Structure 1
Amino acid sequence: MSKYELHSAEQRHQPGSGDSVLANKLGIIDVDEMEALESGLLLMLYEELFIEDQPLSGLAFEHIRVWHRKWLGNVYDWAGKLRNANLTKDGFQFAAANRIPLLIAGFEKQYLSRSGELKNLTRPELVSYLAECHVEFILIHPFREGNGRLSRLLFDMLSVLAGKGVLDYSLWDEHKLFYFKAIQAGVSGNYRPMMQLVSDILPD
């Protein structure tokens, strides 16, 4: 069974993968092989962004799009491009594909435009900002694949801009059901569960 249901006429899976691996440039048909490759490439991107490059002073959505392309551009044709398929996961519907450009514009205005000022926020203000930003990015789900991992990269970059450093998400991984419910709560504007998760991993 695929991770997501894709409602699109696009070629969705790699032939021979049993509908378990998305169509890719490398002809990979094994799930474990693809996950290992994507994880390795993401680690390389982290090293580039947090070790090799000069620190950013602020973020725009274009940064996120470029990160996605750098991460998966050698694997998927659609890397760095906004998705044109509607996605659901475990019956949960992410933003409709045709609304993504408008939602991104709002996300950039409401959250990313403030990313250069995070060091000036109090801890409660920062927790609230990070929780809302994370939930809204997940709900938009701008790309066809990799949104969850990219959301953590974005979270880490925002945390670094706030002077808190790269974070440890193991607690979130241990409480995946609560995390998923925190995302669902954000649909109705209730960010309190995600604020709890953020507060638990954000250094003082």
Structure 2
Amino acid sequence: MAADPYLQENGTFKNRLGITDAAELQARETAISTVRLAQMQQLEQPVGRFDLDHLRGIHRRAFGDVYEWAGKTRGEWTTIQGERFMPPAGLMKGGTRFADGPMVEPFLRDTFRQLERDNQLRGLSRPEFAGKAAELMGDMNAAHPFREGNGRTQREFMRELGVEAGHQLNFSVVSQARMIHVSIESARGDNEGLRRMLLEISDRQAVRALQQAEQALEKRGQDWNGLYVATANKGQIYSGEVAWKGRELSAVQDGNRVIVAPTRELGRGVQEGQSVQFTASGRAQWMDLER
């Protein structure tokens, strides 16, 4: 098997920083890209026109300090440390296979032409926007155009698109476990988890509920980012153990899944650690997200 041209012999990505340890590189890359993405979020205008060049530009700005190939898709000639190559066609992560390199750019150009025909999702109600945005995000994820950094690039693209369309998306309340879960579902052809997530993070009350859940879980020593945390979905039956109870909001945990709901939904006298089952009634505004 040919060596991966992106990697050093020990499996660490080749990088501008001269780092040879994978854990150290990941920490530095995360810190640098977080700053660059925050700078983009301070801009009054998007960094592009919601096309492939826009997506490339976000990736280049976020990761260009770390990787020589930032902004280059897996479907175009790339140079790293003087070596020019066409990236390997295939890419698989965690059992999910993404589009082959030569198909990345044609597929995304078709995707962004459809976005242009849809007027960049302007003028849509929030549920309509969430449905269309889920399809778009699912397509970008299926393409996985860059060797690394796809999720962060896609989320910034979607955030900017939401601003332009009048629907603010707050990805800071999406746990890593949830993002991975809905992305895998989407790669298998099911965008419902993405749609539901986008509905939640474009609703201010749902965002506040998720923020409170994050704080409460971390206060109790739980790794919020490692849990699938969501608000209750109207009409759905939930069961589990009360992870935390507040005056207005509580959370029910079943394994890796944590569902946030109004405390009154759980029944009178419920206590932390108690097993409960309830049907989400939708009496809270953020539990009726189809409006």
TM-score bracket, normalised by the shorter chain, equals: 0.7 to 0.9
Question: CA contact under 8 A between 2:91 and 2:97: conserved in structure 1?
Answer: yes
Alpha-carbon distance between aligned partners in 1 of 2:65 and 2:180, rounded to the nearest angstrom: 32
Q: CA deviation at 1:130?
A: 1.1
Runs of 4+ in structure 1 off by over 4 angstroms are 7-10, 114-117
1:120 alignment partner, SS class: coil
Distance 1:146 1:137 in 2: 12
Distance 1:28 1:87, change over 3 A: same
2:98 aligned partner: 94
Q: Which moved more, 1:87-96 or 1:32-41?
A: 32-41
Q: Which runs of 5+ in 1 are unaligned?
A: 1-6
- Tell whether the 8 Å contact from 1:168 to 1:201 is kept in structure 2 after alignment: yes
Partner of 2:13 in structure 1? 22
Q: Distance in 2 between matches of 1:183 and 1:8?
A: 30
Alpha-carbon deviations, 1:81-124, whole Å to 9, x = none?
1112221012211001111121121111112x257553410112
CA apart distance, 1:156? 1.2
CA distance in 2, matches of 1:78, 1:12: 9
Q: Amino acid of the residue matched to residue 53 of structure 2?
A: E
**For residues 131-159 of structure 1, what are the alpha-carbon distances to aligned partners after superposition, in whole Å with 9 as ceiling and x for unaligned?**
11111101001111100111111121122
Name whichever of 33-42 and 59-68 sits farther off: 33-42
The answer to whether residue 176 in structure 2 is matched with residue 173 in structure 1 is yes
Aligned with 1:54 (options 39, 44, 58): 44
- Superposition TM-score, scaled by structure 2 size: 0.58
> Partners of 1:124 and 1:31 in 2: how far apart?
41
Tell me the residue number matched to 1:42. Answer: 33
* Contact 2:51 2:109 (8 Å CA) reproduced: no
Figure out how many residues of one structure are paired with residues of the other and give that number: 190
State whether residues 14 and 27 of structure 1, in contact with CA within 8 Å, keep that contact through their aligned partners in structure 2: no
1:153 alignment counterpart: 156
Deviations 1:35-87 (A, max 9, x none): 22222222222233221x33238422212111211222232221111112221
Q: Is residue 129 of structure 1 aligned with residue 128 of structure 2?
A: no
- Check whether the contact 1:131–1:194 (CA below 8 A) recurs between aligned residues: yes
Q: 1:166 to 1:32 in 2, by over 3 A?
A: farther
Counterpart residue number, 1:4: none
Match of 1:11 among 5, 17, 28: 5
Kindly, what percent of the aligned residue pairs are identical? 27
Contact preservation (8 Å) 1:59, 1:115:
no
Greater strand share, 1 or 2?
2
Contact kept, 8 Å, 1:60 with 1:108, in 2: the verdict is yes
Q: SS at the partner of 1:79?
A: coil
How far apart, in 1, do the equivalents of 2:34 and 2:194 lie?
Answer: 25
Change (3 A) 1:170 1:31: farther
Match of 1:108 in 2: 112
- Relative to structure 1, is the Cα distance of residues 131 and 58 closer, same or farther in structure 2, using a 3 angstrom cutoff? same
Range with bigger deviation, 145-154 or 56-65: 56-65
- Cα RMSD (Å) of the superposition? 2.4
Q: 1:102 to 1:69 in 2, by over 3 A?
A: same
Structure 2 letter corresponding to 1:90: G
Question: Residues 177, 35 of structure 1: CA spacing in aligned structure 2 closer, same or farther, 3 A cutoff?
Answer: closer
How far is 1:182 from its partner? 2.1
Greater relative contact order: 1 or 2 (C-alpha under 8 angstroms, separation 6 or more)?
Answer: 1
- Hey, what does 2:199 align to over in structure 1? 199
